[in-house]
């Protein structure tokens, strides 16, 4: 089941924030994760619903907890 578009956009903002906070370009993140840079762009713009394994790859490549990407607002 696809996620709500607003959720995908929020996830994309979190990924972009973590990436830029780490000083990493989309191309570098793509290299680190073995994903295409267009895939990274589509995730960041909410156009792609990434799988759990892709989110794990991104969090590892950026050295941030997965929770930072999927739930950026502290409870």
Expressed in percent and rounded to 5, the helix, strand and coil fractions of the chain are: 65, 0, 35
Residues 20-70: pLDDT tens digits? Answer: 999 999 999 999 999 999 999 999 999 999 999 999 999 999 999 999 999
Q: Could you tell me the pLDDT band of residue 71, with boundaries at 50, 70 and 90?
A: confident
- Domain interval for residue 31: 5-65
Q: Is residue 16 part of a domain?
A: yes
C-alpha–C-alpha distance, residues 73 and 23, integer Å: 21
Considering its fold, how many domains does the chain have in total? 1
What local confidence, expressed as pLDDT, does residue 3 receive? 76
Residue 75 falls within a domain, yes or no?
A: no
The CATH number of the domain where 14 resides is what?
Answer: 1.10.260.40
Residue 70 lies in a domain: no
């Amino acid at each position: 089941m696809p996620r709500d578009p607003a959720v995908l956009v929020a996830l994309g903002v979190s990924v972009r924030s973590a990436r830029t906070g780490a000083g990493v370009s989309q191309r570098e993140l793509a290299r680190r994760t073995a994903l295409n840079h267009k895939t990274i762009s589509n995730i960041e713009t909410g156009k792609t619903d990434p799988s759990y394994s892709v989110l794990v790859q991104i969090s590892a490549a950026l050295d941030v907890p997965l929770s930072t990407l999927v739930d950026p607002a502290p409870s």
